[in-house]
Amino acid sequence: MPKAMKVYEVGAPSVMQWEDVDLGKPGEGEVLLRHTAVGLNFIDVYFRTGVYPAAGFPFVPGLEGAGVVDEVGTGVSDLSVGDRVAYASPPLGAYAEQRLMPADRLVKIPAEITDTTAAAMMLKGMTVQYLLRQVYDVKSGDTILFHAAAGGVGLIACQWAKHLGATVIGTVSTDEKADLARKHGCDYPVIYTRENFVERVKEITDGKGVPVVYDSVGRTTFDDSLDCLQPKGLMASFGQSSGAVENFNPGVLSLKGSLFLTRPTLMTYTARREDLVAMADELCSVVTSGAVTIPINQRFRLADAIQAHTDLEARKTQGATVFEV
Ligand SMILES: NC(=O)c1ccc[n+]([C@@H]2O[C@H](COP(=O)([O-])OP(=O)(O)OC[C@H]3O[C@@H](n4cnc5c(N)ncnc54)[C@H](OP(=O)(O)O)[C@@H]3O)[C@@H](O)[C@H]2O)c1
């Protein structure tokens, strides 16, 4: 019987338990997927802690993985047993040796991309695709601010933004993370645990500010991020690793220069199959061309997910973290 990590109640990483799961056969439109690698994402922490509610308990966390199709259900025409596939999508359930998955959420992995890289890049890389290419179309000559620049999403974003011709200002908590961000295309790492990032952005942009801020840190950076924007600039608030932004008054957007604010999610941007495929294709092409690499700095066994969550929440990780199955 396959094993999976199950969450019986919200709480600390220790609420996760490695247990047998009974999957049954794939239903209509589903495949049985044997994972070879699974991605760790901060959203897994939000579900485990109850910031985002799961549909019920116990649940198996995880939204990103890669593997091989072991069995196909009825009505699945474009996938066959043995296909190498990857995904970044609900339903929850990636922290498992095997799982059932809707076929229309899967994409085939090009031969040049390993399963481990696919599991590390699908959620984080497609997030970068929609942030840099759809939420705001980053152009050559733009200077952008990207928070948590040495994280899983952050290191991909630095490289991709550089590839698009932008100048990248990125915040990080330590000197070591600053070095890593710099090596991945961040022109100006700012150590926001000791430097004032608003002042640094103003210095770097000759007082103009940036046209877009990508803020996944949330509570501790949100207000100051708005002060980094040019008039009519765009704030993409796409996460809350430091806690939720509360009591926001939209009048602030007018006072600070007719700003725009969006709170986007990957799930909205990939809801239509054709968008999912186009975004995955663009991600695969920047990775296979070598323009963007997928740095995997931590590897764990799925059974050690408790340690992986502990490290992610303690800001100890850099780049992507992958579970090898
Ligand atoms: N909306 C979407 O579609 C979407 C999709 C994917 C990811 N996200 C969001 O993007 C962010 C990055 O995701 P990721 O999986 O790649 O994680 P990550 O960036 O590898 O890890 C989170 C990073 O946030 C920073 N951070 C700042 N304050 C923190 C705090 N109080 N506690 C913990 N971390 C803190 C840390 O970097 P420093 O040590 O350098 O500060 C930490 O390494 C997350 O907020 C996630 O929810 C959103």
Q: What is the mean pLDDT of each run of 10 residues along the chain (325 residues)?
A: 97 98 96 98 98 96 98 97 98 98 98 98 98 98 98 98 98 98 98 98 98 98 98 98 96 98 98 98 98 98 98 98 97
Beta-carbon contacts of residue 299 (< 8 Å; ≥ 6 apart): 321, 322, 323, 324
Name 190's bridge partners: 171
- pLDDT over 90, % of the chain: 100
Task: Give the pLDDT of residue 140.
Answer: 98
- pLDDT over 70, % of the chain: 100
If you average pLDDT over every residue of the chain, what do you get? 98
Question: Is the CB of 170 inside a 6 Å radius of any atom of ligand 1?
Answer: no
Task: Give the pLDDT of residue 102.
Answer: 98
Task: Give the pLDDT of residue 230.
Answer: 98
pTM of the model: 0.98
Buried b / exposed e along 301-312 (16+ C-beta atoms within 10 A): ebeebbebbebb
* Ligand 1 mean position, distance from CA 154 (Å): 8
Amino acid at 260: F
Question: Is the CB of 238 inside a 6 Å radius of any atom of ligand 1?
Answer: yes
140-263 carries CATH number 3.40.50.720: yes
How far is the C-alpha of 26 from the C-alpha of 305, rounded, in Å? 26
How far is the C-alpha of 48 from the C-alpha of 8, rounded, in Å? 9
Whose Cα sits closest to atom 13 in ligand 1? 42
CA dihedral for 115, 161, 62, 319, sign (positive or negative): positive
| Chain segment 205-215, per-residue pLDDT in tens | 999 999 999 99
Task: Give the pLDDT of residue 201.
Answer: 99
| Chain segment 93-140, per-residue pLDDT in tens | 999 999 999 999 999 999 999 999 999 999 999 999 999 999 999 999
A 10 A CB-CB count for 314 gives 8
Question: Is the CB of 297 inside a 6 Å radius of any atom of ligand 1?
Answer: no
Element counts in the chain: helices (H) and strands (E): 10, 15
Task: Give the pLDDT of residue 248.
Answer: 94
3-121+274-324 carries CATH number 3.90.180.10: yes
Q: Which of 127, 182, 241, 300 maximizes ligand 1 atoms within 8 Å of its Cβ, making it the mutation to test the pocket?
A: 241
- Give the position, in ligand 1's atom list, of the atom nearest the Cα of 266: 3
| HSE value, Cβ hemisphere, 13 Å, CA-based, for 158 | 29
Residue 222: phi and psi, rounded to 5, are -55, -55
Name 214's bridge partners: 146, 236
The domain ranges of the chain are: 3-121+274-324, 140-263
Q: Which of 42, 133, 193 maximizes ligand 1 atoms within 8 Å of its Cβ, making it the mutation to test the pocket?
A: 42
